[in-house]
Amino acid sequence: MNYIGIDPSITSTGMIINGKAFNYSYNSAGYTKKGDYTKWYEMAKNVVEFRFHDKASFKNYQDEQVVKLDLYRSVIENIVDDIENNITEGEDIKVAIEGYSYSSSAGNLIDLVLFGSLVRDRLMEMGCEITVLPPTTLKLESCKMTYPPIEVMEGKRKPKIVLYHKNNDGISGGNFTKKEMYISVVENTEWKDGWKKHLENIRGDINTQKIPKPHEDITDAYLLYQYIKTLK
């Protein structure tokens, strides 16, 4: 079985294929004006395959619609190429992909929905089995995969055991932010692969109050990858 996690984004798409990390970002995010990697891309270069592209450039509304569509298709074909080159042929492909956050601004949300829909359509053409997780569900699952449930007896007349899912700091999985999701990967004792070890190694360098790109998107993709592996 092939397992893939994808966090689709206009600016930085993260993807994990059978444990291998990929990222699709703007050139301006990954490189300095001197042509060197920017800080966080430099730190991750040994554990991530980077694919860079330029931002869409257009003069008016009519051009914008065509240029963006052409860019999205180009990025998606890079994603498809990486999938085809890193899966075991003849085995099914299970993909977990993150849904949309409706807290995004209207313009960004429209672009994200268009890009995400194109990604899903292309994956379906490849015969992938797709599971879409809302961001809120991914937060909870990132907690459940790392921390054991807390059993609490509730009710007076008919007591029953209720399970609560919290991390080591007492934060409920449903209230996780990118910080808690990052820490859930670091504190998981079962995962031993490259991205997990990388996050462990940089824990002293990273400001968990705001997880930088590309780490934010790849970590989401990694959690999606681990989640899809739990489904039978």
- Record the pTM: 0.93
C-alpha 183/C-alpha 195 separation (Å) is: 13
Each domain of the chain, given as residue ranges in start order, spans 2-230
Backbone angles phi, psi at 100, to 5 degrees: -100, 145
Over its length of 232 residues, how does the chain's per-residue pLDDT go in tens digits? Answer: 999 999 999 899 999 999 999 999 999 999 999 999 999 999 999 999 999 999 888 888 888 889 999 999 999 999 999 999 999 999 999 999 999 876 655 558 888 999 999 999 999 999 999 999 999 999 999 999 999 998 777 777 777 777 889 999 999 999 999 999 999 999 999 999 999 999 999 998 887 788 999 999 999 999 999 999 998 6
